[in-house]
Amino acid sequence: MAAPIAIHLEFGGGAELLFNGVKEHHVTLPSQSEPWDVKQLLVWIQRNLLKERPELFVQGDSVRPGILVLINDADWELMGELDYQLQDQDNIVFISTLHGG
Amino acid sequence: MCQMQRGECSCGHQSRRYILQGLSQNAHKKLRFLPGIVYIDEGGAVGQSVEERQRTVAELQAVFKATGFPFHMVPLEEVLDLPSSVVVMAPSPSEPPASAYKAAVDHFIQSDSSGCLTPQYQEQTLLPEVQESRTQVLQQLIGSAKTLTARQDLLNTLRQHLLVHTARTKGYSKLMLGDNCTRLAVKLLTSLSLGRGAQLAQDTGFSDSRYGDIILVRPMRDYSAKEIAYYNYMFNVTSVFIPSLDTKTTDKASIQRLTESFVTKLQADFPSTVSTIYRTSEKLQTACRSSCTADHPDRCLLCMCALDTAVENASAFQATLTSEQLSQSKSLGATRTEIPRQIRAPVEQCCSSGGGEDCGRAETGGDCCSSAKEPETIDLKSLLCYSCQLTIKDMASVEHLPQYILSEAQKRQRRYQMREEISEFLLDDGDEGD
């Protein structure tokens, strides 16, 4: 059984518009039998934090192309993208580089 | 003068860091200049409330003040008051002799080039109060275009006119735009879709000299959006988010939006997409045609690029026109589409607009326009390039266009008519003796 983990989320570049304009979120993910990974985190965000227009943030399993993801200040491509397993006190940043939010 | 790019507003800030590096005397660079920052507040066109606009402006002011450069906040509503000289190409300044360069650099270094703001200057750069009525006029103007594509195109044109005018009045010779590599790749494909193929080199190249005296440069065109976003994050560059016309719209809302979505999605799977498009755009050049003069009739009224509509009969443009005529003659009520492209000029406008310029008709013995009972109608189409024609066609009524555009259109139309009337008596360049 994995313990609940505390994660710090940040949204920038316009992505915060989809979250009521709030840029920083401190969240605690509930405990579950398997470790949390980024794919599950996205589902969790969509269910609990995303206020509107999910298609502007999530596309299929992953984030919409054009939204950059940083895990602990490193590009998520270096950390395994969706398969990266979250750890306590991780810092995940989503920056939108798109014109249309 | 650096323009703050709407959307991700830190792009201008990014270039500011490079400017500071370049300006420091330790850098052995040849380029030394005094930068200023300009921000065009488009909140009125996008539909933001007055409080939201003021909040954004206050945030930006704090950011600008921290840079130490002089800055100018201009509401887009001021585009309604521009003089018609904005859409006229000004002669480029003559090149000073090479020996003057060393003297100029010495003088520059001696004067205080760190750009400290005096309190008096700060007073002048605060955002002026915008009247509600002017915002409504602006919204009417933008709203008169039916599709989002045309609205964005129109907004870009107006913004560019206002930027050039601000640069001219404040005494700047160059305008730095914040377009990054990704945006330019999207812009290239969008321009092709909008029919701006002939103007691609100027729209996406590093320097753009269509206005003559003000050169538009794009120093950030080598950096992709991802690089800039990471840089801003790593170096804690402050950014302010400003919504634009297509924020939170669906993928197919406009051509610009669709192209952006296409390119970014393709880039996710094929990381060389943006750089390939960018490299292709670097190879584009404008061919100087043999009739390359600075005459007014050769330039588009709105985008100031050379007109691409005066081509020979076997061209793609003629094919487009022919099929348009054929499809119109078959449909009933075709005359309704003709009306929006002609405008009725107010009668009192006529002779006073040119500031002392005679109405052409008076000289030929006809009635002066101001005494005519019927107001003039102007066919805007002949004065525009192909893609600007499409934008205007999309507008329900061209009467909402700002006065400077309409008066310049009238002037060119009159000049053209005058030239037609006296064309027999003009000597062509090709005529020898006779």
Closest CA to A21 of B236, B261, B246, B248: B248
Contacts of B253 in chain A (CB under 8 A): 100
Phi, psi values for residue B7, rounded to 5°:
100, -100
CB pairs under 8 A between A and B: 67
Contacts of B247 in chain A (CB under 8 A): 14, 17, 99-101
Instruction: Tell whether A12 is within 8 A of chain B (Cβ).
Output: yes
**What tens digit of pLDDT does each residue of B16-38 get?**
444 444 344 344 455 667 778 88
A42 domain-assigned: yes
Q: Which of B186, B226, B247 sits opposite A101 (nearest CB)?
A: B247
Taking residue B104's Cβ as centre, other Cβ atoms within 10 Å add up to 12
Q: Please say if the pLDDT value at position B243 is more than 90.
A: no
In chain A, beta strands by DSSP E: 5-12, 24-29, 58-59, 62-63, 67-71, 74-75, 90-96
State the Cα–Cα distance between residues B244 and B46, nearest whole angstrom. 6
A101 domain-assigned: no
Instruction: Tell whether A100 is within 8 A of chain B (Cβ).
Output: yes
Contacts of B234 in chain A (CB under 8 A): 73
CA B413-B417-B420 angle, 5° bins:
140
Which one has a higher pLDDT value, B354 or B231? B231
Q: Which of A53, A93, A99 sits opposite B7 (nearest CB)?
A: A99
Contacts of B244 in chain A (CB under 8 A): 99-100
Whole-number percent of chain B with pLDDT over 70: 67
Domain region containing A66: 5-96
Q: Are the beta carbons of B257 and A97 separated by less than 8 Å?
A: no
Q: Which of A17, A65, A66 sits opposite B248 (nearest CB)?
A: A17
Number of domains in chain A: 1
CATH number of A22's domain: 3.10.20.30
Predicted ipTM?
Answer: 0.86
A29 domain-assigned: yes
A70 domain-assigned: yes
**What tens digit of pLDDT does each residue of B323-382 get?**
877 887 665 444 444 444 444 444 444 444 444 444 444 334 344 444 333 344 567 778
A58 domain-assigned: yes
Residue-level pLDDT at B339: 41
A45 domain-assigned: yes
Nearest Cα of chain B lies from the Cα of A65 at a distance, in angstroms, of 5
Nearest Cα of chain A lies from the Cα of B330 at a distance, in angstroms, of 39
A19 domain-assigned: yes
Instruction: Tell whether A21 is within 8 A of chain B (Cβ).
Output: no
Contacts of B271 in chain A (CB under 8 A): none
Q: Which amino acid is at B338?
A: E
A35 domain-assigned: yes
Average pLDDT over residues B168-193: 88
State the Cα–Cα distance between residues B193 and B191, nearest whole angstrom. 5
| Whole-structure pTM value | 0.77
Nearest Cα of chain B lies from the Cα of A101 at a distance, in angstroms, of 5
Contacts of A14 in chain B (CB under 8 A): 7-8, 241, 243, 247
Instruction: Tell whether A54 is within 8 A of chain B (Cβ).
Output: no
Task: Outline where B225-269 has alpha helix (H).
Answer: 225-234, 255-269
